[in-house]
Chains A and B, each alone.
Chain A
Amino acid sequence: MPSERRDESRTRSWILAGAAVGAATLGVTSLAPGALVLLGLALAICAVAAGGMALYRRRGHKRGRIGRHLSPQDVTTAPIDVGGLQRRATLKLLGLGALGAAPIALAPRLIDRVVGGAGPSDAVPVTGGATSDVAQRIRQWTMIIDLRYCDGCQGNGTAPQCTLACIEGHFAPEPMEWIQVFEGELAGGGTQFIPTPCQQCQNPPCVNVCPVGATFSTPEGTVLIDQERCIGCRICMAACPYDRRFFNWGDPPVPPEALLADYSPDHQVPAQRGTVMKCDFCPDMARAGTLPFCVQACPNDAIYYGDLEEDVATNGKGVRQVSRLLSETDAYRLKEHLGTEPRVFYVPGHGELVAGIPSAREGPTPNGPGSSERKGR
């Protein structure tokens, strides 16, 4: 029957259209994953829907595919045998639907593409595993903060030096404190000072939730932010359990020195309004062999910076073996139970080894706090 042949060819053309859309989606999604997967899915679904309509369409008085062998009189009285015809039509529809699933097959590849490597940073050298060539080695940066030697710079009578040096060195806009000294109450009375930089987590909640991949993990274990991509949604700030991410609410003051630097996620200058910033472990300085600003500035040399791969860390005065330091001092990390795997370790203490400051148990020294004879170690 002519209408049947027409319907068959129409179905065929819709199947071809769906195949073409699926193929186009496969080809084009290699260019820009996000938008075009959505578009491809949408088009494929449209093709499926149109194909379905082609199968089920009725025009005015013409009978559709289902029940087409019946006459109008049969419709009211005879039971309609639609089993075989309906099954066939449904199978055709499912076949078309399988084409709509074409982009889903791409999903693992796309996910790998986005998650796998480093983000937009080209400055990080990705040269493979550890090599004997020191310059080529991929470090695993870590920080160990010896709380026995941190008194929050109370002995100096100044604001915490690590915080100030970081703000100056990075031109961090006010009131951001990328490394911030938190104060905690001790059980027996007294205050514990805990300098807290970005913990550079290995399972970073901020990276996990970023919708555009503006914050990303590097092969060196650090977490950086691409100010050119950040859209300022601030879900990373909500996700960080250590509250170490800061937002440029207004126009940040940009000193002239900051304008001289080329843009790179490695050093976050110049700051942009509406983007997020944080401590980045000073990767460009570390690669050049300089210690981060906070490590350099600590008057008690309480902060160590080092490499887990090579198992060394230094505070500028001495070099320690990281694994031994951590195991001997029973070092801990903040909020371990959350599973973020931070790279900042804390040696338990409360500033008791800073000479001149009375510890919680001993009582005041003869010369009182802030005496002139002061040495970290």
Chain B
Amino acid sequence: MTRWRERLVAKTVQPLMRTTPAYKLWVGFLVAVVLWGVFAYTRQWRNGLVETAMRDRISWGLYISAFVFFIGISHAGTLISAILRASNAKWRAPVTRMAEFITAVALITGASFVIVDMGRPERLLNVYQFGRWQSPIMWDVMAITTYLTASVLYLYAPMIPDLALFRDRLKGKVGVVREWFYRAAALNWTGAEEQKKSLAKAIGVLMLIIMPIAVSVHTVVSWIFGMTLRVGWNTSIF
């Protein structure tokens, strides 16, 4: 059992010490895609939303539908990590960490689409300064911020034992900054029984909280459409 566990730990820790050229190539490619997006956005910043070819009748297009899509994707992550945990489905264990990461990243991406869609993004703080709670967009800001916070916490909490593992195993093998990060993020985790009980309780609470939050988020997003009087949008079945 111990030898098996040792091999498992070694396999987990090994990618953190060295990155393969294939990994670097892949990350390089993704960075190039991101830079392409940045270039496109500078064009939009300079010329206005006329670059998107949206016009007055169909004033919401790919940006908003992509926003809705990515918020939906984040629910997939919550489904696997929270709902399947609540129903005690053991097979989710290998994918649950990845699912939670997907949730957090998809939420940030979805929220970015809304900002990119704004006609005057430099006035984003108007939403916080003059925000009207009667507006479906304010509900959406509130709901998605809450969901993002809860998701990040739900991602972090089960990671604490793993971060402690890295802190212990990677001492002296990685840079000072990373060592400090592992030490800080592991929160003095020693693997003691009481710590495990405490953590299990915290994860349980988060799991119970995040499920209604996830349901409410997509409800709120649909209200952005449902609270208009546009034919087809102001009903649920059309």
Interface contact A238-B233, CB-CB below 8 Å: yes
With A249-B55, A338-B229 known as contacts, the answer to whether A229 contacts B130 (CB < 8 A) is: yes
Interface contact B133-A249, CB-CB below 8 Å: no
A 263-301 binary contact with B (CB < 8 Å = 1; else 0)? 000000000111110000000000000000000000000
Closest chain-B Cβ to A67's Cβ sits at a distance in Å of 12
User: A235 on the interface (CB 8 Å rule)?
Assistant: yes
Interface contact B137-A211, CB-CB below 8 Å: yes
User: B118 on the interface (CB 8 Å rule)?
Assistant: yes
Residues in chain A near residue B59, CB distance under 8 A: 234, 237-238, 247
Question: How many Å lie between the Cα of A58 and that of B227 in the bound state?
Answer: 48
User: A322 on the interface (CB 8 Å rule)?
Assistant: no
Residues in chain B near residue A1, CB distance under 8 A: none
User: A164 on the interface (CB 8 Å rule)?
Assistant: no
Question: How many Å lie between the Cα of A194 and that of B114 in the bound state?
Answer: 36
Interface contact B119-A230, CB-CB below 8 Å: yes
Residues in chain B near residue A237, CB distance under 8 A: 56, 59
With A235-B137, A238-B60 known as contacts, the answer to whether A273 contacts B119 (CB < 8 A) is: yes
Interface contact A275-B119, CB-CB below 8 Å: yes
Residues in chain A near residue B219, CB distance under 8 A: none
Q: Interface size class for chain B?
A: 35 or more
Interface contact A58-B194, CB-CB below 8 Å: yes
Contact of B135 among A232, A235, A238, A274 (CB under 8 A): A235
Within 8 A of A (CB), among B142-175: 142
Q: Interface size class for chain A?
A: 35 or more
Closest chain-A Cβ to B223's Cβ sits at a distance in Å of 10
User: B176 on the interface (CB 8 Å rule)?
Assistant: no
Residues in chain A near residue B194, CB distance under 8 A: 58, 60
Interface contact A34-B129, CB-CB below 8 Å: yes
User: A121 on the interface (CB 8 Å rule)?
Assistant: no
With A213-B132, A241-B229 known as contacts, the answer to whether A229 contacts B60 (CB < 8 A) is: no
Residues in chain B near residue A191, CB distance under 8 A: none
With A38-B128, A231-B126, A338-B229 known as contacts, the answer to whether A250 contacts B119 (CB < 8 A) is: no
With A274-B48, A274-B118 known as contacts, the answer to whether A231 contacts B128 (CB < 8 A) is: no
User: A248 on the interface (CB 8 Å rule)?
Assistant: yes
Interface contact B47-A250, CB-CB below 8 Å: yes
Interface contact B48-A239, CB-CB below 8 Å: no
User: B213 on the interface (CB 8 Å rule)?
Assistant: no
Closest chain-A Cβ to B224's Cβ sits at a distance in Å of 7
User: B235 on the interface (CB 8 Å rule)?
Assistant: no
Question: How many Å lie between the Cα of A340 and that of B229 in the bound state?
Answer: 10
Name the residue among B47, B124, B130, B194 with the largest chain A CB count within 10 angstroms: B130
Interface contact B129-A209, CB-CB below 8 Å: no
Contact of A239 among B50, B131, B227 (CB under 8 A): B227
User: B134 on the interface (CB 8 Å rule)?
Assistant: yes
Residues in chain B near residue A229, CB distance under 8 A: 123, 126, 130
**Closest CB pairs A-B (n = 5):** A232-B119, A274-B119, A34-B131, A250-B50, A211-B137
Known: A238-B228, A275-B119. 13 other contacts (CB 8 A): A33-B131, A110-B133, A111-B134, A176-B56, A210-B132, A211-B132, A212-B131, A235-B136, A238-B59, A246-B56, A249-B48, A250-B47, A250-B48
Footprint of B on A, CB under 8 Å? 32-35, 38, 58, 60, 107, 110-111, 114-115, 176, 205, 208-214, 229-235, 237-241, 243, 246-251, 272-276, 338, 340
A to B CB contacts below 8 Å, 14 in the list: A111-B134, A209-B134, A209-B136, A212-B126, A212-B127, A212-B130, A213-B130, A231-B126, A233-B118, A247-B119, A249-B54, A250-B47, A250-B50, A251-B48
